[in-house]
Amino acid sequence: MDYYFGLSQTIGIHTILGLSAYILMLTGQLSLAQVGFFAIGAYTSGILTTMFGYHIMPALLIGSLVAGFFAFLIGFPILRVKGLMLVVATIAFAQFVSLFFFNLDWRKNVNGVEVGPDSTQGFREIRYYAANGWDSGEVALFVWGFVVLVMAALWWLDRSRAGAVLRAVGEDELAAQSVGLNLTAVKVIAMTVGGVIAGLGGSLYAHSATYVDHLTFSILLATFAIAYPILGGLSSVFGTPVAVIFIQGILVEGLRFLGDWRNLLFGLLIILVMNLKPEGIIDARVAQLLKRTFLGRGKGGKHA
């Protein structure tokens, strides 16, 4: 059972990472910086629990807020560019963060043991769950509690005026600007919220994995972050977890016997979806069908 609980933790954490990219993609921005915010949250929360004895909850909160702060800072200069230049700029930020943690050497003696980031050796000794007697099932429930909270918040946001503003900017910037929307402010807010969510995912990951280093936060992970909402579709927040379950649960784990051939299948999957279902697995039509099935059956019957 530990294997399945561990897999559910991975799926939950990757869902949070994908949702951090989802909210920014609603504004039409394709960012690979999410992995940088993920790394900031991971290291910040790990330092707080391991080196300073923080409880997991404030450590997660602070890790998320620190990641969101950096997302806010880089949002102004980076979001002034578009298209390929935005992708390049966000990759540069992610690589800067990775190199920063590659060189971070900050050790502290805690109960006679040196703990903390150790430059090229990575950051070990993140043992909060084990030290407090949590088993893998409890950790999985803890992670999925945050997944549900984030999804509920984004589901509500998507149906509010704020969600309409985000989608308006993503669909037509000129039209959105003509009705008085501040494009820079909207994009920076989306980047900041996405940074907070990514920081939360990184914080949870660090404590589940118990070890992180600069290689953890690779371009492949950044690609996964944007692939989930692309494959799942931007019409509904539920598309992202569906894509994560398919990729991590089936493609990565279920087809592990194929080895590196899975990377080829991943590329083919993206090509197929972009050609056959360019709006994602759960596109507007599927999202509307699901909504009518689970939420509006009675109302639909009256109109009929």
The predicted structure's pLDDT at residue 298: 44
> Given the structure tokens 């450590």, which residue do they identify?
59
How does pLDDT run across 125-182, given as a tens digit for each residue?
999 999 999 999 999 999 999 999 999 999 999 889 999 999 999 998 889 989 889 9
Domain holding 111, by residue range, is 2-218
User: What is the distance between the alpha carbons of residues 71 and 78, in angstroms, rounded to a whole number?
Assistant: 10
Examine residue 200 and state whether it is found in any structural domain, yes or no. Answer: yes
From first to last of the 304 residues of the chain, give the pLDDT tens digit.
788 899 999 999 999 999 999 999 999 888 999 999 999 999 999 999 999 999 999 999 999 999 999 999 998 888 777 778 888 999 999 999 999 999 999 999 988 889 999 998 999 999 999 999 999 999 999 999 999 999 999 999 988 999 999 999 999 888 998 988 999 899 999 999 999 999 999 999 999 999 999 999 998 899 999 999 988 888 889 999 999 998 888 887 877 777 777 777 777 877 777 777 777 777 777 777 766 776 665 444 444 3
Examine residue 230 and state whether it is found in any structural domain, yes or no. Answer: no
Examine residue 250 and state whether it is found in any structural domain, yes or no. Answer: no
Examine residue 279 and state whether it is found in any structural domain, yes or no. Answer: no
How does pLDDT run across 25-36, given as a tens digit for each residue?
999 888 999 999
Number of domains in the chain: 1
Examine residue 231 and state whether it is found in any structural domain, yes or no. Answer: no
Examine residue 111 and state whether it is found in any structural domain, yes or no. Answer: yes
Q: What is the DSSP string of 107-174?
A: -EEETTEEESBBGGG-B----HHHHTT--HHHHHHHHHHHHHHHHHHHHHHHTSHHHHHHHHHHH-HH
Q: What is the DSSP string of 205-257?
A: HHHHHS-B-GGGS-HHHHHHHHHHHHHH-SS-TTHHHHHHIIIIIIIIIITGG
Examine residue 54 and state whether it is found in any structural domain, yes or no. Answer: yes
pTM: 0.91
Cβ proximity of 57 and 95 under 8 Å: no
Examine residue 133 and state whether it is found in any structural domain, yes or no. Answer: yes
